[in-house]
Amino acid sequence: MANQDQDDEGKKKPPLVLTIAIVAGLSVAAGGGGWFLGNLLAPPPAEPEVAAAATVTEAGTAEDGGIPRLATEANGIVALEPFTSNLAYPADNLVRMEIALAFNGLPDPVIAEAVHQDIMAYMRTVSLQQIQGPRGFQYLRDDLKERVDLRSEGRVTNIMFRTFVIE
């Protein structure tokens, strides 16, 4: 028995300070390796002077380095002004929408404004129960697509929801 007690004392666990030092050293090594690898793989940041000098042109380039935007009138896409409307029931619920229209050919601002007004009027007739869930949203999308087709006489090929929030 005395032999067993001596063996236990001979196999003492490393002190807490040594364990903390090892963990700290490994953490510093991992952080340094991550920093080095991040600098090696990440592209260099853009110069602020170049980004500030970029402007929007008629062709629809973005302000962030001249990348062309897809949603432009030159591409046949018109982003309608965002609007907020109350629902039919419950009347204290509001819906905020931003919609874009994809035209077949050149966009017509008169048709776009008529569609915008028609969508706002339609949203005042919709109840919250009709548009709840994925199926309700799909029904709303189909209804709006049908109304847009009728209003635009087939000139609008697609309606795209940019934002759709119900409060």
Domain locations along the chain: 2-41, 76-166
Instruction: Report pLDDT for 106.
Output: 87
Instruction: Report pLDDT for 42.
Output: 77
**Domain 76-166 classified CATH 3.40.50.11290?**
no
Residue 10 corresponds to which amino acid? Answer: G
Instruction: Report pLDDT for 57.
Output: 42
Report the C-alpha gap between 51 and 41 in whole angstroms: 22
Per-residue pLDDT of the chain (167 residues; tens, 9 = 90+): 555 555 555 567 778 889 999 999 999 999 999 888 888 887 777 666 544 444 444 444 445 555 455 566 667 888 899 999 999 999 899 999 999 999 988 888 899 999 999 999 999 999 999 999 999 999 999 999 999 999 999 899 999 999 999 98
Instruction: Return the closest-CA partner of residue 60 out of 46, 83, 80, 78.
Output: 78
- Rounded to two decimals, the pTM is 0.57
Instruction: Report pLDDT for 62.
Output: 47
